[in-house]
Structure 1
Amino acid sequence: MVSLGGIARKLFGSANERRIRSYGKRIAQINALEAETKALTDEQLRGKTAEFKAMLADGKTLEDILPQAFAVAREAAQRALGMRPFDVQLMGGMILNENAIAEMKTGEGKTLVATLPVYLNALSGKGVHVVTVNDYLASRDSAQMGRIYSFLGLTTGVIVHGMDDDERRAAYACDVTYATNNELGFDYLRDNMKYEKAQMVQRGHNYAIVDEVDSILVDEARTPLIISGPLDDRSDLYNTIDAFIPMLDEGDYELDEKQRSVNFSEGGTEKLENLLRSAGLLKGESLYDVENVAIVHHVNNALKAHKMFARDKDYIVRNGEIVIIDEFTGRMMPGRRYSEGLHQALEAKEKVQIQPENQTLASITFQNYFRMYSKLAGMTGTASTEAEEFGNIYGLEVVEVPTNLPIARKDEDDEVYRTVEEKFKAIIQEIIESHKKGQPVLVGTTSIEKSEYLADRLKKEGFNNFQVLNARYHEQEAYIVAQAGVPGAVTIATNMAGRGTDIQLGGNPDMRISQELGDMPAGPERDAREAEIRAEVKVLKEKALAAGGLYVLATERHESRRIDNQLRGRSGRQGDPGRSKFYLSLQDDLMRIFGSDRMDSMLVKLGLKEGEAIVHPWINKALERAQKKVEARNFDIRKNLLKYDDVLNDQRKVIYEQRLELMESESVSEIIEDMRMEVIQAITGKHIPEKAYAEQWDVKGLREEVRQHLALDLPIEEWAAEEGIAEDDIVERIRAASDALAKDKAERFGPELMNYVERSIVLQTLDNLWREHIVNLDHLRSVVGFRGYAQRDPLQEYKQEAFELFQALLANLRNTVTGQMARVELAQGNQESEDLPPMEGHHIDASTGEDDFGEGYPVSAFAAQETTRDPNDPSSWGEVGRNEPCPCGSGKKYKHCHGAYETA
């Protein structure tokens, strides 16, 4: 029985068909402009760019000029690359211009399609980002498609790993920038750790087209991008500072066991300054000089480690390691470490080996990074199965673009065997038979291990005529996969291997020419050899077509139908014939998870013999249902991750916006004054309760807090004893004394130096507290799930506690900045902009738990410096980070050696 929905679809067409039809009018407009555009000279065609920009400046919208801009971009592609976009490619370009995903089959020319909306949106001058899955594709596409933009007078940049900040800044300043998702995310995080706006590399998030959008926004979106970095500490520093603490007397610190806090008294600070000075660790006169921010952090941790943490109560020492004891359960928590250097301070106290200190400096999920773009679009061969997710999370609609020529590939039913052994025997036999008849075969596996296992089995059978690809060496693999359509070729690949590269029957002539004739100079000899290669490829294509086209043979079903469809789609490009088949066994992961035990016993009863397979469309349907269940579960995981990350993201936005405001404002003195006033109000309110009598005031406590936070020793007891004194009078007197101290400092430092000191202290304090906050939220998130046992919603609990932690961060910021500003003493000397420390990027693969980047991925500017520097020739040093070791070999930091400079 046909459903009502089915009848309506037959009558009106599906929503996708109706949308596709709606582009017909625009395509006709573009085609009508073709003759006129063709008649333009190269110079006139280039001049159209300035013309379009002027139209936009006069109030026209991008939609208004779309037909003319697409016609110009199409003609430029024809002249620069010899490629004229088909009508369906124009359609794909229009979809990409509409905050949507264009689903286009493999071989339909997605890379060329992107140039149309990229050109149109680049005319706004705000920059367009084209996002690829690896550095090789970013470089390849920017070089190839950049010829079109260059032809039309636009600039193209590319961001790849290993570039320094100046190169990145220049690339982002271009009209069109090609980059990987990882590089874009890391640059955003690093920009929000800089201390000056001029040091930032990105210039906003206007419009992005994400290539292989399903891979980047779905597969990689289950885990965040993380930047972690070593704190610039050494074991000897911990040990040196640790040795000072036993020298302190009880009067040198104030311990509050109830609040679990410990602080140095004035006498203790003085004693400590003398000890640090004798050890050569104190810069300037005072411990609270701006240069000693890190030392203050260390001495406070050392004091906490000795006076607040007791061995065998808060922690134990086992096998030379400090193991934390949970204060509520009394159980050991191996693998957990205190953050912000406290664990290292305990290791120094107990004289065990000090582990290197590392911490999360910044993190963001791809969902939240890409949602920052004013306009987002994507393209892939497979997105419709995840349409709900793209719509819910990114607000992106998936539109299926018809192929230029009808698909002629034959998709066969799956073959299901009882055991893995039987399945692999059948696969090997099929590969050898297909190779004999000259049919190119692409064998798909779900993991590197399985591709290597199949390769070993083939070798044991005496078959060595194959290539193994496993997404490790993108450039080399692109060449191999481009030749996977040669008759008789056998290519074993994992899911991602060679993605982004077209498999052409007979091989890719351009790839062969660049590989074989790379160094040959231009001339008749090269021209002749090129013609030979093209003729060879033509003959090979005819052979491959006669053998049935590319045969995609999959060794297993993936948990996602989309990945299976990607593999299947490698065959049958541009109307070519092809064939695809999946080989399964009841021992495969997907089959095992979804109840293959019952099926196995049933097949034995039905008399299925060894080596025989069961083939039926019903099995395909059952597998599709199983895959849908897994996809729904994975979607829930990603949706849940996003709900939690949204809490952090809202706070991240506030912090990053504040940092930007601080960097852009001419002076931050008003902000610091407001902070100081709030601190005075807070500490006065704490010790002088509202509507309390004077005898109920805690004047001694107030005097201590004023000394601690404002570095002022005021006769508050005397003030409180005055007849008729009110709380407001006390507040006003404290404020006046604090203002006088600030004014005196400002006069002594001078406006320029004072502004630098204030900005540095606020930004550095904000960054340190934010990093600590990230760690706290991470810990909170790891345990908040247990609240569910108490019938409380873990997400609501997380939101509530995260908000309280954020308020505590802001209060802490006010207190710390006010205290440091009250104590700071800075000799008028060098003013330096801080460089970022060496940092590593991480992105954990959600399915394996392993880091995608292996052993660290340097993301700081000078960590990847690859230029050869001559210590005796400063002209060979290039850009040197101010905190980088000086290239002269002195062992000093560059800023203290050849990079030192004096301020007037």
Structure 2
Amino acid sequence: MLGGLAKTFFGSSNDRYVKSLGAIVNKINAFEPTLQAMDDATLANQTVLFRERLANGEKLDSILPEAFATVREASVRVMGMRHFDVQMIGGIVLHRGEIAEMRTGEGKTLVATLAVYLNALPGEGVHVITVNDYLARRDAESMSQIYGFLGLTTGVIVPDLSDQQRRDAYGSDITYGTNNEFGFDYLRDNMKYDRASMVQRPFAMAIVDEVDSVLIDEARTPLIISGPTDDKSDLYMGVDAVVKQFHPDDYEKDEKQRTVILTEDGTEKAERALEAAGLLQGANLYDFENTQAVHHLNQALRANVLFKRDIDYIVRDGKVVIIDEFTGRMMNGRRWSEGLHQAVEAKEGVTIEPENQTLASITFQNYFRMYPKLSGMTGTAATEAPEFFDIYKMNVVSIPTNVPVRRVDEEDEFYKTTEEKFAAIAKKIKIHSAKGQPVLVGTVSIEKSELLSEFLNKEGVEHSVLNARHHELEAGIVAQAGRLGAVTIATNMAGRGTDIQLGGNLEFRIHEELGDMPEGAERDARVDEIRREIAAEKDRVREAGGLFVLGTERHESRRIDNQLRGRSGRQGDPGLSRFYLSLDDDLLRIFGSNTLFSKMMRNNIEDGEAIGSKWLTKAIETAQKKVEARNYDIRKQVVEYDDVMNDQRKVIYEQRADIMDADTIGDVVEDMRRETVNGLVGEACPPNSYPEQWDVVGLTEKVSATLGVDVPLADWIAAEEAIEPETVEERIREMADAHVNAKAADLEPETWGQIEKSILLQNLDHHWKEHLATLDALRQVVHLRAYAQKTPLNEYKHEAFALFERMLINIREDVTRTLAHAQFSMAPPQDLPELPDFLTSHIDPFTGEDDSYDYDAGAQGLITTRLPQMGIPQPSGEGLGTDPSQWDGLVSRNAPCPCGSGQKYKHCHGAVA
């Protein structure tokens, strides 16, 4: 109570912080008249002057007011947009490494230019992270007008660029791209064989757009680069046939945890069926020899019991395509891990593709924590503020809107069943649409979208459905969702990347209606006519009440609900929002099935009747908070486990970098050989032991196998009764060194150095890959240690450390063995091996669910035709001319060849002779 009273008089801590930034905004505004008086050349030269001041020791904070004022004036001149004072506050927050929470339509893309420009001045590069390729291209194209005017370069990272194009983009002052592209480039760079082929440079600053989507929603699942393993199609189909014989009594499922466990009877039934199918060794399912069978049985159970067609995935063109739970989009090319995708393919009877083995992985948490300065912006972050601070040490600052919000958020309305709810929704939509008010309907799945579509068809309401089945039309449908009387059904509106403007979107209408019309007076006149039509329609939509956002059920996360609501009431427009719920909704069914509220609803509400109250809305919000807390715990667990691997990853990647940077690594290889000798002798000749207790035969054989030399150990012992293990070590080392030096003498020193470096890197990569696979398997089963009253995470740390030490020993021995036994000739030098076509995915290490995004494929074509004007590299060979000799370095080796053969470039005109 006292806290609320204090907030009334003094404002919240957020309000006081924002108010304190007003003094800096006043300084920025004071520079405006001076900058307005400058001509374009003088204004653009400000960048040179700022860089000189920084070189002379000034700090970024001291030049912030003048730099921000410069960006605002440049924006006015090249784009006709002047930053509002609240946008200046947002820019200061971003520069300070905090999260700016700004409502939809407040111009976050323009806000970012302030902090981006200031932090790009030192020349170390600023990365702007967007949630999809369409936004990366769009924002890079539009904002580069400001940066280019001020003398800064802009690059964009999109799929299918060549390494040289990526290197150029990362070398720019400002680089736009998606979180996945940046993360995968980091992993790929650390799999390269020489420093010159790496594309990224040291990190300086990242600004993340839709920061909650990138650092919260996607952060549950690591980025993974993998390669194929052996085909096990027969095993998947055999296990699937067994699982299809089960009845619900044979297993227990937990929808909250997304797990399925066999009952005792179910286990016996599985053993008999697997034995009959020849998939079981012995009679006991849980014998060590049947570990693989148990794993695939569990995955087949999950595929058949928990994963639903048209909700979790769809089958298209004979392939299982994952549907993203947050956006409802298809994630083409993405696959579940740990054999789960293959289990779903077996369930659906489509072609089963081989499993993949992890070659490199990193979580977004550990990737973004490598940036010395990290900030972000979004419309919805306050609900996750504790997590942002705990994981990333970033504060969330809520920025006030430039114009007061006029949207009305009505109380939730509750019904007993989904059918009653959808019938009521259809009638409500018909009423609002009839009076000209556009309606945006948010659903949680494709199935619900199509069910509602049927109800609307019965009511005779024209509407558009936006979900994974109509992915190609997505951007155009969203852009026109604010037109008079439009009804749009969307599967989760998060991160659509296209503004819903009342009356319609000018850019999209021009593209749609005038796409083929040549430039000229006639086209200009038609553009003006469309602009007037939109203005008149906007006035009519405002009179009808603005955009009506209607949610068909509550999401697990309040943020997703707020994102949907935030689509209405843009920049002071009128708007309305309301959520419709029923007891059949997943949130209420799973998390509130036995509550007093649920029982009261079933027993006291008539069929078709609805109720609504603040108390019920609060009850739903409480359930959402519980789910959010649980999801946070899951994400935190992912981080805790990855932190263990991250420490090891840093060691391996630093070692790789040191090896690539070194002119010669002879001393490293020699140390490895010495350590190997010490290990072999130490094992066979324990300290304080007598020669007759030594394993003479075993040591002799191991030295021959590992070091390639025959050691007369028995003769040494016979000749010297008091010989010490240290003496044996020294003599073996001398023999091993002489053996390797003799090989090196036959080759040029530079050639031998390259051989050592290549062998060391390849062994390092091989053992790291095997280590990752072992850690994956360990993480899958370590939770069972809890039954022995042990903490799984502590057990994982202990075992992972022991495995890492063992890996380092294996690397030493393998490098020593290879150099000792390999035969080398004076062949012409070979190029370093090209990395294979890796598969990239974004997979939950605990459930195997893929959270990768396949964004806006249909929207990309809207702006790619304008990309060459700003010098952004294109992802294919289009527009490169007809001379194949000019294509080298401009076309990704894995992209389609520009000649139109249908082959990859590297297999066609890009083939190495």
Shorter-chain TM-score range: 0.7 to 0.9
Kindly indicate whether the alpha-carbon contact (under 8 Å) linking 2:894 and 2:906 is maintained by their aligned counterparts in 1.
Answer: yes
Distance 1:745 1:892 in 2: 41
CA drift of 1:579 comes to: 0.5
Aligned residue for 2:540? 543
Distance 2:904 2:507 in 1: 51
Distance 1:661 1:18 in 2: 48
Q: Give the 3-state SS of the residue equivalent to 2:746 in structure 1.
A: helix
Structure-2 change in CA distance of 1:817 and 1:457 (3 Å):
same
Q: Give the 3-state SS of the residue equivalent to 1:218 in structure 2.
A: helix
- What is the TM-score when the length of structure 1 is the normalising length? 0.83
Aligned residue for 1:484? 481
Kindly indicate whether the alpha-carbon contact (under 8 Å) linking 2:113 and 2:143 is maintained by their aligned counterparts in 1.
Answer: yes
Distance 2:566 2:884 in 1: 55
Structure-2 change in CA distance of 1:191 and 1:721 (3 Å):
same
Structure-2 change in CA distance of 1:478 and 1:752 (3 Å):
same
Aligned residue for 2:713? 716
Distance 1:707 1:33 in 2: 78
Matched, 1:754 2:764: no
Q: Give the 3-state SS of the residue equivalent to 2:483 in structure 1.
A: coil
Deviations for 1:388-407, whole angstroms, at most 9, x for unmatched residues? 00010010100000000111
Distance 1:885 1:519 in 2: 27
* Alignment match of 1:334 (pick from 281, 287, 293): 293
Aligned residue for 1:5? 3
Distance 2:710 2:819 in 1: 16
CA drift of 1:80 comes to: 1.3
CA drift of 1:832 comes to: 1.6
CA drift of 1:8 comes to: 2.6
CA drift of 1:456 comes to: 2.7
Structure-2 change in CA distance of 1:65 and 1:599 (3 Å):
same
* Alignment match of 2:821 (pick from 820, 823, 840): 823
* Alignment match of 1:645 (pick from 631, 637, 642): 642
Aligned residue for 2:225? 227
Deviations for 1:667-696, whole angstroms, at most 9, x for unmatched residues? 111100000000011111111111212222
Kindly indicate whether the alpha-carbon contact (under 8 Å) linking 1:227 and 1:842 is maintained by their aligned counterparts in 2.
Answer: yes
Structure-2 change in CA distance of 1:318 and 1:780 (3 Å):
farther
**Which residue identity is paired with 2:583?**
L
Identity of aligned residues (%): 56
**Which residue identity is paired with 2:174?**
V
Kindly indicate whether the alpha-carbon contact (under 8 Å) linking 2:893 and 2:910 is maintained by their aligned counterparts in 1.
Answer: no
Structure-2 change in CA distance of 1:850 and 1:60 (3 Å):
same
Aligned residue for 2:491? 494
**Which residue identity is paired with 1:187?**
D
Aligned residue for 1:627? 624
* Alignment match of 1:788 (pick from 779, 786, 789): 786
Matched, 1:505 2:535: no
Q: Give the 3-state SS of the residue equivalent to 1:492 in structure 2.
A: strand
CA drift of 1:853 comes to: 5.4
Structure 1 residue runs without a partner (length 5+) = 236-315, 338-342, 344-352, 858-863
Aligned residue for 1:523? 520
Aligned residue for 1:250? none
* Alignment match of 2:571 (pick from 571, 574, 582): 574
CA drift of 1:461 comes to: 3.2
Aligned residue for 2:398? 400
Structure 2 residue runs without a partner (length 5+) = 233-273, 297-338, 340-350, 857-874
Aligned residue for 1:43? 41
CA drift of 1:716 comes to: 1.5
Q: Give the 3-state SS of the residue equivalent to 2:835 in structure 1.
A: coil
Distance 1:420 1:900 in 2: 61
Distance 1:605 1:896 in 2: 71
Matched, 1:695 2:692: yes
**What are the equivalent positions in structure 2 for 1:71-150 lying under 5 Å apart?**
71-150=69-148
Kindly indicate whether the alpha-carbon contact (under 8 Å) linking 2:163 and 2:892 is maintained by their aligned counterparts in 1.
Answer: no
Q: Give the 3-state SS of the residue equivalent to 1:33 in structure 2.
A: helix
Deviations for 1:434-472, whole angstroms, at most 9, x for unmatched residues? 110000111111122212221233223332x21222267
User: Which one is further off, 715-724 or 13-22?
Assistant: 715-724
RMSD of aligned Cα (Å): 3.3
Aligned residue for 2:561? 564
Deviations for 1:102-149, whole angstroms, at most 9, x for unmatched residues? 000011001110111001111111111111111111111111111111
* Alignment match of 1:685 (pick from 682, 687, 704): 682
Distance 1:85 1:738 in 2: 71
Q: Give the 3-state SS of the residue equivalent to 1:130 in structure 2.
A: strand
Distance 2:815 2:739 in 1: 15
CA drift of 1:95 comes to: 0.5
**What are the equivalent positions in structure 2 for 1:790-869 lying under 5 Å apart?**
790-829=788-827, 830-844=829-843, 850-852=849-851
CA drift of 1:521 comes to: 3.0
Report which of the two structures shows the higher radius of gyration computed on alpha carbons.
1
Deviations for 1:160-203, whole angstroms, at most 9, x for unmatched residues? 11222111111111111111111111111111110011111111
Matched, 1:617 2:614: yes
Deviations for 1:681-737, whole angstroms, at most 9, x for unmatched residues? 111111111121222222221111110110111211111212243222221111111
Distance 1:29 1:856 in 2: 41
Kindly indicate whether the alpha-carbon contact (under 8 Å) linking 2:160 and 2:895 is maintained by their aligned counterparts in 1.
Answer: no
**Which residue identity is paired with 1:696?**
Q
Structure-2 change in CA distance of 1:730 and 1:892 (3 Å):
farther
User: Which one is further off, 397-406 or 697-706?
Assistant: 697-706
Distance 1:330 1:150 in 2: 64
CA drift of 1:589 comes to: 1.1
Distance 1:559 1:222 in 2: 15
Aligned residue for 2:416? 418
CA drift of 1:897 comes to: 12
Distance 2:728 2:539 in 1: 95
* Alignment match of 1:29 (pick from 24, 27, 30): 27
Kindly indicate whether the alpha-carbon contact (under 8 Å) linking 2:884 and 2:909 is maintained by their aligned counterparts in 1.
Answer: no
Aligned residue for 2:583? 586
Q: Give the 3-state SS of the residue equivalent to 1:32 in structure 2.
A: helix
CA drift of 1:850 comes to: 4.6
Matched, 1:190 2:188: yes
Distance 2:353 2:668 in 1: 39
Aligned residue for 1:280? none
Matched, 1:657 2:654: yes
Aligned residue for 2:466? 469
Structure-2 change in CA distance of 1:57 and 1:406 (3 Å):
same
Structure-2 change in CA distance of 1:320 and 1:754 (3 Å):
farther
Kindly indicate whether the alpha-carbon contact (under 8 Å) linking 1:435 and 1:490 is maintained by their aligned counterparts in 2.
Answer: yes
Distance 1:900 1:502 in 2: 46
Higher relative contact order, chain-length normalized (CA < 8 Å, sep 6+): 2
**What is the aligned residue count?**
796
Kindly indicate whether the alpha-carbon contact (under 8 Å) linking 2:442 and 2:493 is maintained by their aligned counterparts in 1.
Answer: no
Structure-2 change in CA distance of 1:763 and 1:887 (3 Å):
farther
